[in-house]
A and B are shown apart, each in its own frame.
Chain A
Amino acid sequence: MPTHPDQKYVDALCRGDNRLIEEIYQQHAPKVSQWVCNNNGNTADAQDVFQKSLMAILARYCNQDFNLSCPFGALLFSICKNLHRKGLRQNKQEESLRNQVEMEYSTTEEAHDLLEKAEEAVEKSRIQACLEKTFNQLTELCRQALQLNAKGHSGEAIAEQLGMSNRNAVYARLHDCRNRWRQLYEQQCKS
C-alpha cells in the first residue's frame, strides 16, 4: 500500500516535532472534543482520551517500519472512540453508545481495517501504560540501572555512575530489577 502523506504526523510523534504535534492538536482536538462531549463525556475526558490515543500511536507504530496507509485523523479518531468506549464500559454506560458507534461504521473493508488498527494500538498502549505504572514502583536505583542499560551503557560505566562496586554487581542488580518488574507486572496487569 502506498504511504499516505500524513505519515509525517506519525514521524513527528516518534521524533518529537513540536510544530507538527501542535498541528495535530489544532486539526483534531475540536472534533474529538465534540464527539466525546456528545457521548456522555466532558472536555477533561476528551483531553485524556486524546493524549492516550497519541501515546497509543507512539507505542504501536514508533518501534518498527510502518507506513501509514490512511489519513492520520481517521486513525487517531478511531483510537479515541475505542478508548472512550472502553472508559464508558468501565462505567457501565456503554450500551447505547456501542450501538451508535457500530451503526456509524459501514461494513466496508477500510472501516474494519481501521477498527482493527485501533484495537491493536489500544491493547499495545495498555501494556505499555501498565509497564510504566509498575516501572515507577521499582526503586530509584533499579530504574536508573535499567535505563542506563537500555541506552547501551556498559556494566563498568553503570557501576561508576551509580556508585556500585563493579560490573558483576550491576548485572546482578539488573537481573533482580527485571525479575521484580516482571513480578509486579504479572500481579497487576495480567488481563
Chain B
Amino acid sequence: MSTVMKKVDAVIVGFGWTGAIMAKELTEAGLNVVALERGPMQDTYPDGNYPQVIDELTYSVRKKLFQDVSKETVTIRHSVNDVALPNRQLGAFLPGNGVGGAGLHWSGVHFRVDPIELRIRSHYEERYGKNFIPKDMTIQDFGVSYEELEPFFDYAEKVFGTSGQAWTVNGQLVGEGRGGNPYAPDRSNPFPLESQKNTVSAQLFQKAANEVGYKPYNLPSANTSGPYTNPYGAQMGPCNFCGFCSGYVCYMYSKASPNVNILPALKPLPNFELRPDAHVIRVNLDSTKSKATGVTYIDALGREIEQPADLVILGAFQFHNVRLMLLSGIGKPYDPKTGEGVVGKNFAYQNMGTIKAYFDKEVHTNNFIGAGGNGVAIDDFNADNFDHGPHGFVGGSPMWVNQAGSRPIAGTSNPPGTPAWGSAWKKATADYYTHQVSMDAHGAHQSYRGNYLDLDPVYRDAYGQPLLRMTFDWQENDIKMNRFMMEKMGKIAEAMNPKAIALLGKKVGEHFNTASYQTTHLNGGAIMGTDPKTSALNRYLQSWDVHNVFVPGASAFPQGLGYNPTGLVAALTYWSARAIREQYLKNPGPLVQA
C-alpha cells in the first residue's frame, strides 16, 4: 500500500529545464508545487567544484552525470521485424539524471526555431506541391507560430542569459557585419549579452565560409560573454572557455542551467518543494480516465508514495514523458500498422554529419579551449533557405564549428589511416591534438510512419516496469540529405586548406548505430498539434485525453529541428505555462475543444 502525501495544487515530474520553468511559473501564480526528481540533489557546489570537476575520466568517460542505465534504459530495434535489445551502455544519446537533468550537463547552444519548421508540412506542400513529401513521412505542423512564441523565446533568453548577435530587432537591421544571422527571424529585443569570443577554429570556419560564399554568424550561446543577472535575480559570471562544458557541471556559474538560473529563486518559497530521489512510476487517473488525481513514486528507501495533485506536469526527458504516458494509459498508443493512435508516434532524432580537418603545426586550434554554446555557423542550407526542388529531400541543416573543448581520453582524433596504437599513433596524437578543426552538419530529422516508441514486451527496469522500446532507423530521405550536407560542408573544409580531412557522414543503407554518440536531441512521441487524431497534446501541451496533464519537452515536437531543441523547449514551456496561468486555472478543462 502506498503512503499518501498531502494533496498539492501541482506536481511536476522531473526537475530539468521544463520542470524548473513550470515550477517558477506555477509558484508565481500562487500554486503549491512539489517537484519530484528521480535522481539525486545536484548543484554547482559540490558537484561542479573546482578543480575536482576538471576530471575527464569521471565525467565524460564514466558518465557521472548521465542517466543510470543500470536501473532503467530503453530497448532499440531497427524495424518491427527485429527483436529489440537494451541500450546497455549509453552511447548515441546521453540523457541526464538528478536535479537539473540534462540541463546541468548540456552544452548551451541556445537557438530559437526557423519559423517554417513550425509549419513544415504546410510550407513544403505550398512551395513544392503535395507529392514532394514522401508517403511514409509523417511530418506535421506544430500548431503554433513563431510570432505567437516570440515573447517566450525572448523571455527564455533573458532567463538563460544568452549571448548572441541579433540580425533585426523590431524590423531594424542591427547585425550586419557584426556576426548576425541574415536568415534569423525578427526579434523584439537584442540578446541579453553580446556574442562570445570566437576560437581560432571558429575563425577558420568563418573565413572559409565567407570565401565559399556563405553567410557565417555567431552561434547563440547560453554561456555568458560577461557578467549577468537574470529576471529571477540569479547571477552568472563570464565564461572562461575552460573546455569542460558538455558533460560537466559549470564551475564558473557561466553555463545556464536550472540549478544556476531558476532553482535559487525557488528555494526560499514556502509554496515550493523539490523532492529528489523520487522516481515516478505512473500518473494516477480517476475512474473516468479523463482526469489525473496525482502520481505515484518510489522514494529513496524503495517505499511507494502517492502524491495527490490537481495538476500534473510531465517534465521529464523526452522518452520518459512518453513512457509515463504509456504506463499510465494517457492517450491512445500509436500503432504503426494502422497509423492510428498518438502516443509514441513521430519519434525523431538529429541527422548529424561531421568533418575533421587536420593542420600543420603553425595553425594552433588549441582544442582544449572551448565553450559548449560557442562557435560560428552558417544557415545557407538550414530549414528551407535553399531550393529543395532539384534535390528531392525534406529538411535542412545548420553547419558549424562548435568547439566545446576536447579532452585527451575521448577527444583526440587523428587523420584517417593512422594506427590506433604504438609509436605511429603516439606521434600523430602529439602532432594533431592542438591542430585540428571539427565541424558538424546538425541536420533536421523528419518523422516517419515506422519510427516510433512503445513498451518493450521483454525487458523491465529495476522497479519491474516495462522499458520503453524504440523502433528506429535512418530512412532514404535522411541519407540523401546527409550526403548533400556533407558535400556542402566539405567545400568549407577544403577552403581551410588542411593537410588531411576525415569525412564522417552516412552511407547508403547504413543503420542507426546505438553505440556511437550523435546527439541527445530526441524528439516526439507525445506530440502537439491541432487534431486529437494525429497528436497527443493540443497546442498548449495539454493532453487531449486527460485535461489536467501537461507535457512540455521535446517529446512535443512532431519532428526534429535543424537547430538544437532546448531554446524551443524552453519557449514552448513558457507558452504552455502562460495558458495554464491565464486560462486553465480560471476554468479547468480542455483549452481547445476537440
B is a partner of A: no
Name A residues whose Cβ lies closer than 8 Å to a Cβ of B: none
